[in-house]
Structure 1
Amino acid sequence: MSTLTRISGSFSHPDDAATTKTEVSALQNAEGDPHLVILEPEDNPQNISLFRRWLAVLIISSASLCVTCDSSIAAFTEQGSAQTFHVSHEVTILGISLYVSGLGMGPLLVGPLSEVYGRNVVYRVSYALFFILTFPVVFAPDIAVFLVFRFITGFCGSTFLSVAGGSVSDMFPNSSIANPMAVYTISPFIGPVVGPLISGFINQHLYWEWTYRVQLCWIFAELLILVIFIPETYAPVILKKKAKRLRESTGDPKFYAPLDRRENTLVSAILVSCYKPFQLLLFDRMALLLDSWNALVLGILYLAFQAYPIIFEDNHGFDMQTTGLAFVGIGLGMILAISTQPLWNRLYARETAKYNGDPPPEMRLIMGQVGAILVPVGLFWLAFTTYPQVHWIAPIIASVPFGSGIYFVFTSTFTYLVTAYRPIAASAMASNSALRSAFAAAFPLFAGAMYDRLGTVGATALLAGLATIMAPLPFIFYRIGARLRKNSRFAAH
């Protein structure tokens, strides 16, 4: 494999899609330039030892899990914080909603920053800020400070929902990326399930502020291992640093890397990052519908943080820690789903061979079809087992297919968006993130009123009905997606 091929391959992930064409064309135009710094085998992050690459994937995934765990860990602190700050329960729910809003907005800024300064600087600065700015949450003197810094910490932690996927694809070639990407993909969705489990135990036995003190210790541990073990993996920045070293060691100022000659400024990249995702939502119906489907599923997951206490505490007499344990069903479903990844790998390998190595993006929607069925099935099962006279294990078992469906839905859609909208893959993922976060922030706010009005059966069945309405999407787009892409001004044809 040539050096040029290795470099262009290292760009093929969402965060870099906007700059790929410019940088690769620069390499092609200047291939014979002796002062152009190229990626040698010893520089290529894909040539790092397999152990170090997998260690980096696990650390990045755990950092992502920590960030999303911090979103839901607030669920069981609401009663204590309402008493401390003398506000209503509805106000304290904003602790989740504002944090998730920060998670949705952060990628619009950190994505372009990572393309200029690299992964590591962005990781370290954002996680250091995430750690430092969690202190005002722990020691907030009033509800205003608490809520403002919940939003800010969510914004800082969002790096691991946008940039981290790029690090994974930096380190693995397309032929072997499926398993590490599956591990990373599941981590942001396991996090919200782990949050109530931890928070339930803490709030059952300690004061509510201890929830954030424990989280603070976890964030600090993650920050240390990020600094110690995570290498820089973004090829353009590796080349830029190499060019700088060559200029200093040789005294020849002519050495340069492709990133030194990029035409776009950081400001213009941030502007594009801000408007392109919303342009995609407004003018591409396929992206809008798939993003809306994802947003609904994540909104339902976050609504569960308000619904589970109603279902299990009011109907079955659970205390706080056992209600937190009830989320294990969703987590178990996700783990069972990721364990099927080898089967999907074999399926995709057969499809790839059938299309001579270039399968259509719609192939990725097959996994989404399974998720589209499992999500409403799990929710309907959950709805009709929430009666007090039904044993409490039944709704927990019902949440297992729901958890599996979540994994299949998101893994399928993420992969499809990146491949179908490859020219603007970063914007495609940002639009998905923005809409998902909007739904995840809004759904907990009306959960209490909806369950009071409709009851546990009616409210959960309503959510299941909405999921059923969305269920045909992966089947429809599997059949007509290629035709829709040909007529789209954003998608790859």
Structure 2
Amino acid sequence: MASQSTLTPSPSLSREISRDKSPPPLQDADLEKAPTTPSPRQSSRQVFPETDLDAGIVAWDSQDDPANPMNFTQSRKWTLLGLVSAVTVISPLASSMFSPALEDLASDMDITNDTLLSFTVSIYLLGYTFGPMLLAPLSEIYGRRIVLSCANWFFVVWQIGCALAPNLASLIIFRLLAGAGGSGCITLGAGVIADLFPVHQRGLATSLWSLGPLMGPVIGPIAGGFVGESIGWRWVFWLLLISGGALSFAIECFNKETYAPVILRWKTDKLGKELGRSDLRSHYDIEGNDVSPARVLKLGLKRPIILLCKSPIVLFLATYIALLYGLLYLFFTTIPTVFGDQYGFSPGLSGLAYLGIGIPVFIGLVIIATTSDKILLRLAARNGGKFEPEMRLPAMVFWSFFIPVSFFWYGWAADKKVHWIVPILGMSPFGLGMMGAWMPIQIYIIDCYPMYAASGNAALTASRSLVGALLPLAGPKMFESLGIGWGNSLLGFIALGFVPLTVLLTRYGKSIRERFPVDLEK
């Protein structure tokens, strides 16, 4: 029953769905039979486990227990998510903010190898690949708060190393370590959303949190271009140190633990001491989670790999997100060359070209945030009040059609040296499409695995970061061989090839998920 209490819709969702059709409430027997990855069902009541001291079980004091993160006030919920989202902007910002200052670095350290220079940017994303695999399971042992805090400060400290790096080798190592720490907010944000928000609010919550991973890499080059041009590449890291440190301090002051199993574990220990009872067990321990930290860590390290290997849907979604992330960073590799060499822009002005992606990403965010949960409620009502995670995916199909358009538009406009506004506008469909496809995937993983949302998101983060780190290294050679026009057209055809697969996944996703169930507790 570990996941039922998290996934059961709140009374507000029940009332909204019941306007169309009121299904019968869940029976206790149904709750006992619910699978590890259930489809949330419309119910007339919200069900959380409650304390039964006679049976030695410690849970929530009542359905309205204020200690339950699901019962936090709306102001507290959105404040906590806002803090996580704020640092989630700074961390991805660091991935790309340094890229416009590469020429300054090359001149300062006398570096002529373009691949090595590009590697100083992409190595940060390799930290994103390995960090989540450790941070996600640690958060399921010690809680979200302490792990997020440690990861944030780890990220901040290594900005000092990057700013003072005496040579390229040390800079690469420090960037890798900073990326591992910066992956904390990217990994744990999904878990915090699953901890705090019922199903019908997760679309809006995930939209706010996802602003960072998508907008950060876009804002970074804009800011980095002017910083590197005016005060030098080292100040990129000093500014990241100042902003990251300020946000990390704010999180220390206001953040609260949100992971229910950890909160109830603390409550069990406290009650055991107060009542002098050694037989008390947390509800989640009764459900099979009463294992050693080493065992939990081992299980946690395996979960992202298990999801990728045993769930065809997760594998496809992780591959698709990795493709989009790689395409985004391939875009980044061409922008300085296109607008610097062909249009004569300065590094600072070349950074402004990234707004061609950034503004549509923000517009897409607003659209998804305001429509995702409404569409969910409408589809659930048509389905007899039964919510299914696959109801998040139709939006992905619609927006995926926008993505290939940009590569043909931007690529050939830049190749033929059309007025600079045309290739900038050509980036817009990609920005819209990426947000529209990205968001349903993120919410789908949270809805499918709410108790292990951090691990599920780690699978997505690790795969996309690996591709985002390595694929752009091949970009300069590819565009040198094919040219800007045909090089981007190749990327457009690849993106177009994924569109039919998104249609098939939306149509047959439920049957595939049920045919290949994944047990994340063994």
- Equivalent residue for 1:307? 334
Gap change, CA 1:426 and 1:44, over 3 Å in 2? closer
Which of 256, 260, 264 pairs up with 1:231? 256
Judge conservation of contact 1:127–1:223 (CA < 8 Å) in 2: yes
Distance, in Å, in 2 between the alignment partners of 1:50 and 1:252 is 35
Which of 435, 438, 463 pairs up with 1:407? 435
Task: Report how far residue 159 of structure 1 moved.
Answer: 1.2
Which of 70, 87, 108 pairs up with 2:133? 108
Gap change, CA 1:38 and 1:30, over 3 Å in 2? closer
Distance, in Å, in 1 between the alignment partners of 2:240 and 2:451 is 38
Task: Report how far residue 426 of structure 1 moved.
Answer: 5.2
Distance, in Å, in 2 between the alignment partners of 1:155 and 1:438 is 12
Counterparts of 1:201-212 in structure 2 under 5 Å?
Answer: 201-212=226-237
Partner of 2:256: helix, strand, or coil?
Answer: coil
- Does residue 316 of structure 1 match 2:317? no
Judge conservation of contact 1:193–1:331 (CA < 8 Å) in 2: yes
Distance, in Å, in 2 between the alignment partners of 1:283 and 1:38 is 32
Give the gaps of 5 or more residues in structure 2.
Answer: 10-34, 39-47
Task: Report how far residue 339 of structure 1 moved.
Answer: 1.7
Gap change, CA 1:307 and 1:6, over 3 Å in 2? closer
- Equivalent residue for 2:214? 189
- Equivalent residue for 2:103? 79
- Equivalent residue for 1:290? 317
Q: TM-score, normalised by structure 1?
A: 0.89
Task: Report how far residue 239 of structure 1 moved.
Answer: 2.0
Distance, in Å, in 1 between the alignment partners of 2:274 and 2:312 is 53
Task: Report how far residue 467 of structure 1 moved.
Answer: 0.5
The C-alpha deviation readout for 1:24-50, integer Å capped at 9, x for no partner, is xxx979845365332231212233332
Q: Which amino acid aligns with 1:274?
A: L
Q: What RMSD in Å do the two structures reach over aligned CA positions?
A: 2.9
- Equivalent residue for 2:85? 61
The C-alpha deviation readout for 1:252-308, integer Å capped at 9, x for no partner, is 555543466733333333333334433443454443333222111100111222110
- Equivalent residue for 2:25? none
Partner of 1:472: helix, strand, or coil?
Answer: helix
Judge conservation of contact 1:237–1:259 (CA < 8 Å) in 2: no
- Does residue 470 of structure 1 match 2:494? no
- Equivalent residue for 1:245? 270
- Equivalent residue for 2:488? 460
The C-alpha deviation readout for 1:345-378, integer Å capped at 9, x for no partner, is 3222110111122233332211111221011112
Judge conservation of contact 1:11–1:20 (CA < 8 Å) in 2: no
Partner of 1:141: helix, strand, or coil?
Answer: coil
Partner of 2:430: helix, strand, or coil?
Answer: helix
- Equivalent residue for 2:54? 33
- Does residue 398 of structure 1 match 2:426? yes
Identity %: 28
Which of 507, 517, 521 pairs up with 1:479? 507
Distance, in Å, in 1 between the alignment partners of 2:431 and 2:339 is 18
Q: Which moved more, 1:464-473 or 1:428-437?
A: 428-437
Q: Which moved more, 1:152-161 or 1:343-352?
A: 343-352
Q: Which amino acid aligns with 1:199?
A: G
- Equivalent residue for 1:272? 299
Q: Which amino acid aligns with 2:139?
A: S
Distance, in Å, in 1 between the alignment partners of 2:373 and 2:73 is 23
Gap change, CA 1:265 and 1:335, over 3 Å in 2? same
Which of 72, 76, 90 pairs up with 1:52? 76
Distance, in Å, in 1 between the alignment partners of 2:157 and 2:358 is 29
The C-alpha deviation readout for 1:368-413, integer Å capped at 9, x for no partner, is 1122101111222211221454111111112122111111111122
Counterparts of 1:15-26 in structure 2 under 5 Å?
Answer: none
Q: Which amino acid aligns with 1:337?
A: G
Gap change, CA 1:398 and 1:122, over 3 Å in 2? same
Task: Report how far residue 177 of structure 1 moved.
Answer: 2.7
Task: Report how far residue 187 of structure 1 moved.
Answer: 2.0
Q: Which amino acid aligns with 2:290?
A: E
The C-alpha deviation readout for 1:225-247, integer Å capped at 9, x for no partner, is 11011111112222222333334
Gap change, CA 1:242 and 1:269, over 3 Å in 2? closer
Q: Which amino acid aligns with 2:86?
A: S
Q: Which amino acid aligns with 1:326?
A: A
Partner of 1:177: helix, strand, or coil?
Answer: helix
Distance, in Å, in 1 between the alignment partners of 2:327 and 2:250 is 33
Task: Report how far residue 114 of structure 1 moved.
Answer: 0.8
Which of 191, 197, 200 pairs up with 1:175? 200
Gap change, CA 1:64 and 1:104, over 3 Å in 2? same
Q: Which amino acid aligns with 1:411?
A: M
- Does residue 446 of structure 1 match 2:474? yes
Partner of 1:163: helix, strand, or coil?
Answer: helix
Distance, in Å, in 2 between the alignment partners of 1:356 and 1:386 is 51
Distance, in Å, in 2 between the alignment partners of 1:380 and 1:365 is 26
Distance, in Å, in 1 between the alignment partners of 2:438 and 2:519 is 19
- Does residue 330 of structure 1 match 2:351? no
Gap change, CA 1:354 and 1:31, over 3 Å in 2? farther
The count of aligned residue pairs is 480
Distance, in Å, in 1 between the alignment partners of 2:300 and 2:100 is 35
Partner of 1:42: helix, strand, or coil?
Answer: coil
Judge conservation of contact 1:108–1:430 (CA < 8 Å) in 2: yes
Distance, in Å, in 2 between the alignment partners of 1:239 and 1:466 is 48
The C-alpha deviation readout for 1:195-234, integer Å capped at 9, x for no partner, is 1011011012111101111111011111111101111111
Distance, in Å, in 2 between the alignment partners of 1:465 and 1:315 is 25
Distance, in Å, in 1 between the alignment partners of 2:36 and 2:205 is 24
Partner of 1:458: helix, strand, or coil?
Answer: helix
The C-alpha deviation readout for 1:90-142, integer Å capped at 9, x for no partner, is 21211222210111211111111111111111111111111112211111112
- Equivalent residue for 1:70? 94
Q: Which amino acid aligns with 2:328?
A: L
- Equivalent residue for 1:24? none
Gap change, CA 1:486 and 1:56, over 3 Å in 2? closer
Task: Report how far residue 173 of structure 1 moved.
Answer: 2.0
